[in-house]
Amino acid sequence: MNELAPQDHAIEALAALAHETRLAVFRMLVKAGPGGLIAGAIAEKQGVPPSTMSHHLATLEHAGLVQSTRTSRLIHYRADYPGMRRLLVFLLADCCQGAPEMCGDLFADLNCPPTPLCNA
């Protein structure tokens, strides 16, 4: 992916997530962790034809939210955690207005267990 300005990256990422299937797939991949899932399994779990799922996954990858690797005929997809972090940092950058306590308990609201992914 070309390096975009933070606002441009956020616009592209939010546009990619502004679709029910892509949002569900992105959340599924985040939950799957670094190992990700095979494209066919993603399509099956979402009840979407593989060709349609391929389009959705390409959109998420182009937006910097998903990464893929090919092994023979299988394509593994995983959440792009740095891309997700970049979007979240952009969205939250101005929220605290110099008062970090305003956003300090954000992760408590997520019920996020203390793991490297959650505390990255």
Stretch (H or E) spanning 70: strand 66-71
Domain coverage including residue 100: 6-109
Q: Is residue 90 part of a domain?
A: yes
DSSP codes, 7-55: HHHHHHHHHHHSSHHHHHHHHHHHHH-TT-EEHHHHHHHHT--HHHHHH
- Does residue 118 lie within any of the structural domains? no
Percent of the chain with pLDDT over 70: 81
User: Which tens digits make up the pLDDT trace of 30-67?
Assistant: 999 999 999 999 999 999 999 999 999 999 999 999 99
Structural domain includes residue 102:
yes
pLDDT digits (tens, 9 = 90+) for 66-116: 999 999 999 999 999 999 999 988 888 777 776 767 776 666 666 665 555
pLDDT one-digit tens code per residue, 95-107: 777 676 777 666 6
Tokens read off for 63 = 């937006």
Look up the CATH number of the domain holding residue 11.
Answer: 1.10.10.10
- Number of domains into which the chain is organized: 1
Say if 116 falls within a structural domain. Answer: no
42/30 Cα distance (integer angstroms): 12
pLDDT at position 7 over 50: yes
